[in-house]
Structure 1
Amino acid sequence: MGAAAKQQPSSTPVFSQSATTELQLEALTRRLWLSRGCATRRVLPAVCVAAALAAAFVVLSAGGGSPNGMPASLFFDDAQGSEDIPPSNLTAEHLLDGLLTAEFSYRSCRSRYEFDGYHKKSSHKPSPYLIAKLRKQEALQKRCGPGTAAHKKALQRLESGEGAAADVEEDNCRYLVNISFRGLGNRMLAIASAFLYAVLTERVLLVDGGKDVADLFCEPFSGATWLLPPAGQRSPLRHLDDYGMESKESLGNMLQSGAVVASADGNVSWSSPRPPPYVYLHLAGGYGYHDKLFYCGTHQRLLRGVPWLLMRTDSYLVPGLFLTSSFLGDLETMFPEKDATFYHLGRYLFHPTNAVWHAVTSYYRSNLAGADRRVGIQIRVFQEKQPPQQILDQLLSCVRDEKLLPEIAATNDTSSRAVLVTSLNSWYSDRIRGEYGDRVTGGVHQPSHEGRQRSGDPAHDMRALSEMYLLSMCDVLVTSGLSTFGYVAQGLGGLHPWVMARAPSWDKWTEDQAAPDPPCQRALSVEPCFHSPSYYDCAARRDVDLDKLVPYIRRCVDVSWGIKLVNESSSQW
Structure 2
Amino acid sequence: MSAKRKRDGGCRRILAAVESTEAKLERNGTTTFVMSLVFPAICLLFVPFLLYRRPTMELLQTLRVSTGIGSNGVEPSRDRLLGGLLSPEFDESSCLSRFQSALYRKGSHHLPSQHLVEKLRRYEALHKKCGPGTALYNKSIEQLKSNQSTGTMECNYLVWIPHYGIGNRVMSIVSGFLYALLNDKVLLVHVPDDMDDLLCEPFPGTTWAVPKDFPVKDFHKFDRDAPMRYGALLRDKVISNDMRSATNAALPAYVYLHLPWYNSEWDRLFYCGEAQQMVRRIPWLFFRTDEYFAPLLFLVDEYSEELQRLFPEKTTVFHHLVRYLFHPSNTVWGHVMRYYHAYLARADEIVGIQVRIFPLVPIPFETMLNQIMNCALNERILPRPLEFEEKPQSAPPRNGLKVKAVLVTNLNGSYHDRLRDMYYEYPLEARDEVVAVYQPSHEQAQHTDERGHNVKALAEMVLLSFSDVLVTTAKSTFGYVAQGLGGLRPWILLRKPEDGEPACVRAASTEACLHEPPKYDCKTGKRGVDMSAAVPFLRRCEDVADGLKLFD
Q: Report the TM-score range of the alignment, normalised by the length of the smaller protein.
A: 0.7 to 0.9
Contact 1:524 1:556 in 2 (8 A): no
Are residues 1:393 and 2:370 paired? yes
Aligned to 2:44: none
Return the TM-score normalized by structure 2.
0.80
1:454 & 1:435 partners in 2: Cα distance?
30
Q: Name the structure 2 match of 1:244.
A: 223
CA distance in 1 between partners of 2:318 and 2:168 (Å):
13
Checking the alignment, whether the CA contact within 8 Å between 2:406 and 2:436 is kept in structure 1 is yes
The 1-side partners of 2:231 and 2:245 are apart by 14
- Long gaps (5+) in structure 2: 10-76
1:4 CA displacement: 5.6
Alignment of 1:39-188 (within 5 A): 93-163=79-149, 165-168=150-153, 171=154, 173-188=155-170
Report what 1:542 is aligned to: 526
- In structure 2, the residue matched to 1:57 is none
Task: Pick the structure with greater CA Rg.
Answer: 2
Q: Is the 8 A contact 1:259 1:270 kept in 2?
A: no
Residue deviations 1:103-144 (CA, integer Å, cap 9, x gap): 111111110110110111122101011011101110111001
- Consecutive unaligned residues in structure 1, runs of 5 or more: 9-90, 504-512, 569-573
- Letter matched to residue 486 of structure 1: G
- Pairing 1:530–2:530 present: no
Q: Does 1:494 align with 2:481?
A: no
Corresponding residue for residue 352 of structure 2: 376
Residue in structure 2 matched with residue 452 of structure 1 by the alignment: 445
Deviations, residues 405-428 of structure 1 (Å, cap 9, x unaligned): 012249899532110000011010
What's the counterpart of residue 275 of structure 1? 251
| 4+ residue segments displaced more than 6 Å | 410-413, 513-516
Secondary structure in 2 matching 1:376: strand
Equivalent residues of 2:195, 2:454 under 8 A apart: no
Equivalent residue number for residue 556 of structure 1: 541
Is 1:290 paired with 2:298? no
Shift of 1:271: 8.4
Conservation of the 8 A alpha-carbon contact between 2:152 and 2:281: no
* Cα drift, residue 246 of structure 1: 2.5
Structure 1 residues 299 and 536: CA distance shift in structure 2, 3 A: same
Match of 1:311 in 2: 287
Q: What CA deviation, in whole Å up to 9, does each residue of 1:215-241 have, x standing for no partner?
A: 110101111100011245xx3x22111
Give the distance between the partners of 1:268 and 1:130, measured in 2 at CA.
28
Other structure's SS at 1:377 match: strand
CA contact (8 A) 1:260 1:270 kept: no
Give the counterpart letter for 1:393 in structure 2: N
- Matched to 1:308, the amino acid is W
Maintained 8 Å contact 1:175/1:206: yes
Q: Which has the higher contact order (CA 8 A, sep 6+)?
A: 1
Is the 2:474–2:492 contact (alpha carbons within 8 Å) kept by the matching residues of 1?
Answer: yes
1:434 is matched with: 421
Q: Which residue of 2 aligns with 1:255?
A: 234
Alignment-derived partner of residue 222 in structure 1:
204
Structure 1 position 366 matched with structure 2 position 342: yes
Q: CA deviation at 1:260?
A: 2.5
Contact 1:95 1:101 in 2 (8 A): yes
Letter of the aligned partner of 2:146 in structure 1?
S
* CA displacement, residues 493-530 of structure 1 (integer Å, 9 cap, x when unaligned): 11111111236xxxxxxxxx978932111112211111
Q: Which amino acid aligns with 1:556?
A: C
The residue number in structure 1 matching 2:383 is 406
Q: Give the CA deviation at 1:180.
A: 1.7
Q: Judging changes above 3 Å, is the alpha-carbon distance between structure 1 residues 199 and 317 closer, same or farther for their aligned structure 2 residues?
A: same
Contact 1:261 1:271 in 2 (8 A): no
Residues 192-203 of structure 1 mapped to structure 2, 5 A cutoff: 192-203=174-185
Q: Secondary structure at the match of 1:253?
A: helix
Aligned equivalents of 1:162, 1:283: Cα separation in 2:
24
Whole-Å Cα distance in 2 between the matches of residues 300 and 465 of structure 1?
A: 33
Question: How many correspondences in the alignment?
Answer: 466
Within 5 Å, give how 1:333-352 maps onto structure 2.
333-352=309-328
List per-residue Cα deviations over 1:293-319 (Å, max 9, x = no partner). 111111000011100000110111111
Show the 5 A alignment for 1:465-484: 465-484=458-477
Match of 1:69 in 2: none
CA contact (8 A) 2:447 2:453 kept: yes
Give, in whole Å, the separation in 2 of the partners of 1:142 and 1:448.
38
2:412 matched residue in structure 1 = 425
In angstroms, what is the RMSD of aligned CA positions? 2.3
Counterpart of 2:411 in 1: which secondary structure?
A: coil
Specify which of 188, 191, 196 is matched with residue 206 of structure 1. 188
Q: Which amino acid aligns with 1:5?
A: K
TM-score calculated relative to the size of structure 1: 0.77
Matched with 2:6 is 5
